[in-house]
Amino acid sequence: MPVYRDLDQVTLDRLYNPRQHTPNASATIQGYTATSRDVAARFRCLRDLSYGDDPEEKLDLVLPDLPRNAPVLLFLHGGQWQLLSKDDSLFPAPPFTERGVIFAAASFGAVPKVPLETLVERSRRALGWLIANIGRHGGDPGRIVVAGHSSGAHLAAMIATTDASALRGIVLVSGLYDLEPVRLSYRNEILKLDEARAAALSPLRHLPATGCPAVVATAENDTSEFIRQGAEFANAWANRVARTTRLHVMGHNHYTLIETLADPTSPLGEAALALMASKA
């Protein structure tokens, strides 16, 4: 019996569970953490800067040499709104830092300890802190791009629905932008969304009248629902908001695609760097 579009419960749950489709997911995620430790050891970093009053509200900065009016990339990690932190999220920094970009990675807590609305609010506070404070670290508050992976892409898209005028762009990788099917899936055991909250937390339903350019990426081996949601958000943003680069990257899965953000020659790395360098 269908519970969403033509999907029955078993199929819907399967299509919103990328780990079920990716046997090497745990090893790939462990690679995020190991590489992030290496980045922290090799580059000039400022750790555990507070952007709010809660102990979870911390961010790290990876700084280029002698930054001056440097563009800024704020990275929001994935993990089903439950897992990982800024400490696992420095791995994409090198190609940006080496090109004069300040890389920021934020922690924002997890559900069910706090509701999803709190993660959205904290992500917006992290951006607000950067706008107010990055100048003292050599950054340009008028040149901030927000990037997110998976559940972090949802948070980045939520920021863009209200703060797009403050952004140079957004980079969204394998994200979810309409939470109604998420509400109907097994994930709602943790999220505990009702229909109204799912709608309020769906960036696809709250597109701004104007906004910043976007890069929206999915992987060949993402599930069909992640691919559909990425395509629908990219089309909607392009048609109603601003210039959009849509990437569907072959040879990657939900977990390996974000690793290519650290490769300046990859489609994702190249598009993100181009967005950082864009004048509009």
Query: 21 burial class (0-12, 13-18, 19+ CB within 10 angstroms)?
Result: middle
Tokens 């569970």 locate to 17
> Per the structure block, which two tokens stand in for 200?
């309020």
What's the CATH number where 161 sits?
3.40.50.1820
CA torsion sign for 202, 271, 90, 37 is positive
Q: How many helices (H) and strands (E) does the chain have?
A: 10, 10
Domain count, the chain: 1
Residue numbers in the chain where pLDDT is lower than 50: none
Residue 224: CB atoms within 10 A of its CB come to 10
What pLDDT, on a 0 to 100 scale, did the predictor assign at position 106?
98
pLDDT at residue number 43: 97
User: How does pLDDT run across 68-95, given as a tens digit for each residue?
Assistant: 899 999 999 999 999 999 999 999 999 9
What is the per-residue pLDDT for 280?
56
- In the prediction, which pLDDT does 164 show? 84
pLDDT, residue 127, reads 98
Q: What is the pLDDT of residue 279?
A: 66
Cβ contacts of 279 within 8 Å, gap of 6 or more: none
- Answer yes or no: are the C-beta atoms of 103 and 93 closer than 8 Å: yes
Sign of the torsion formed by the C-alpha atoms of 203, 209, 215 and 221: positive
Predicted structure pTM score: 0.97
Could you give the C-alpha distances from 96 to 37, 66, 103, 104, 189, in angstroms and in order? 17, 14, 7, 11, 38
Domain holding 82, by residue range, is 2-277
Q: How far apart are the first and last CA of the chain?
A: 47
pLDDT for res 278: 80
| DSSP conformation class of 117 | H
Beta bridge partners of 246: 216
CB 230 within 8 A of CB 174: yes
